[in-house]
Amino acid sequence: MGRLSGRVAIVTGAGRGIGRAIALEYGREGAQVTVASRTASTVDQVVTEIEAQGGEALGVVVDVGERDQVDGMVSKTVERFGRLDILVNNAQGFGTKDEPESSPGYRPIESFPEDVWDLTFQTGLKATLYAMQAAFPHLQGRGGKIINFGSGNGIAAMKGTAAYNATKEAIRALSRTAAAEWGKHGITVNVVVPTILTDSAEAFFEERPGIREKLAGGIPLCRFGDLDRDIGPVAVFLASTDSDYVTGQTIHVDGGQILRP
């Protein structure tokens, strides 16, 4: 307990799933946490959960695809807590602005809709860049930590999710480049590629009959990752001083799924 005491973290997409699990774990470890997401009700719920376990949290409703809102998220955090040490870029949108989806639907490349492509990149690659740029002045010179998210979809070239695959692989390239450029400022930048059972994953499986069993069969540890058990501790490690000499890396929290042929 207390491995993040005195540290301030922003977690995007923190209203549910992986983001919520990380925000709660950071709160348990003593960090002051900005819970950032699009939906006010889920933001408020996670803030309440962190406070109930003795932590301190700030809720910010934000569309990470809008640069001014991302800038405001960082400004509100620094105004409330006086500093920023950790940035977790977990949020990712699907579908279109007018018709959002809970997971990347199946769309072949030859007819991939441009509006779906644009929103995927706006809320993925560009949102990650926006937050990194806004956070940089506050992270430099103080051992700042940035944790971005990739996807096994991109690494394995999952059919039908070209935009998601491309934005997640671009985030990995952006992260390695930032690690190389910002190391002199004491900032580490790493990527987590999770195979965790979330609501979004369940929606993805529903649209693709048989894919859940196929993916599960390729996991050496024979199970999907658990939100409460598997993702938070890794995110704490990457946010703590224990990982001060780890940067530019992709950490696969996937039960060994990366090993599949």
Domain limits, the chain: 8-259
pTM reported for the whole predicted model? 0.95
Nearest to 57 by CA among 67, 65, 45: 45
Give the separation between CA 151 and CA 182, rounded to whole angstroms. Answer: 23
pLDDT at 185: 98
Q: Which CATH architecture has domain 8-259?
A: 3-Layer(aba) Sandwich (3.40)
Q: Low-confidence residues of the chain, pLDDT below 50?
A: none
pLDDT on residue 82: 98
- Distance (Å, whole) CA 11 – CA 22: 8
Return the pLDDT at 149. Answer: 98
Adjacent-strand bridge partners of 189: 146
DSSP per-residue codes, 12-66 = ETTTSHHHHHHHHHHHHTT-EEEEEES-HHHHHHHHHHHHHTT-EEEEEE--TTS
Residue 219 identity: I
Contact 127, 91 (CB under 8 A): yes
Told to judge if 164 belongs to the known catalytic residues of this protein, a careful annotator would answer yes
Give dist(CA 218, CA 68) in Å, integer.
42
CA-CA distances (angstroms) from residue 129 to 33, 88, 133, 142? 20, 12, 6, 20
For 85, the token pair is: 């040490």
**Active-site annotation holder among 26, 106, 164, 245:** 164
What's the confidence (pLDDT) of residue 261? 65
Question: Tokens 């649209």 map to which residue?
Answer: 207
Tokens 């799933």, located at residue: 17
